[in-house]
Amino acid sequence: MRESRGAMFRRAVQEESPLQVVGTITAYTARMAEQTGYKAVYLSGGGVAANSLGMPDLGISTMDDVITDAQRITDTCGLPLMVDIDTGWGGAFNIARTIRHMIRADVAAVHMEDQVSAKRCGHRPGKEIVSKEEMVDRIKAAVDARHDESFVIMARTDSLAVEGLNAAIDRACAYVEAGADMIFPEAITKLEMYSQVRDAVKVPILANLTEFGATPLFTLDELRAHKVDIALYCCGAYRAMNAAALNFYKTLRAEGTQKNVVATMQSRMELYDYLGYHEYEQKLDSLFAQGKEK
Binding site feature residues for substrate: 44-46, 121-122, 156, 186, 208-210, 239, 268
Set 5, 10, 208, 229: catalytic member: 208
Q: Give how far Cα 271 sits from Cα of 76, 161, 169, Å.
A: 15, 42, 45
- Annotated binding residues for Mg(2+), written as ranges, equal 84, 86
Set 38, 42, 194, 233: catalytic member: 42
Decide if 113 is catalytic: yes
Radius of gyration, CA atoms only, the chain: 21
Query: What string of DSSP letters covers 160-211?
Result: HHHH-HHHHHHHHHHHHHTT-SEEEETT--SHHHHHHHHHHH-S-BEEE--T
Decide if 86 is catalytic: yes
Element (DSSP H or E) covering residue 49: none
Collapsed DSSP state (helix, strand, coil) of residue 42: strand
- Annotated binding residues, written as ranges, equal 44-46, 84, 86, 121-122, 156, 186, 208-210, 239, 268
Set 156, 171, 198, 226: catalytic member: 156
Set 111, 146, 171, 198: catalytic member: 111
Decide if 114 is catalytic: no
Set 113, 114, 158, 229: catalytic member: 113
Decide if 208 is catalytic: yes
| Bond from prior residue into 18 cis (ω within 30 degrees of 0) | yes
Decide if 111 is catalytic: yes
Residue 207 bridge partners (DSSP): 231
Q: How far apart are CA 49 and CA 147, in angstroms?
A: 28
Residue ranges in the chain assigned as alpha helix (H):
5-15, 27-36, 45-47, 63-76, 92-104, 132-145, 160-163, 165-177, 191-201, 220-225, 236-255, 268-275, 277-293
Set 69, 114, 186, 229: catalytic member: 186
Decide if 121 is catalytic: yes
> Would you say 227 and 204 are in contact if contact means Cβ atoms under 8 Å apart?
no
Set 5, 31, 34, 86: catalytic member: 86
Set 34, 57, 69, 229: catalytic member: 57
Active-site annotation, residues: 42, 57, 84, 86, 111, 113, 121, 156, 186, 208
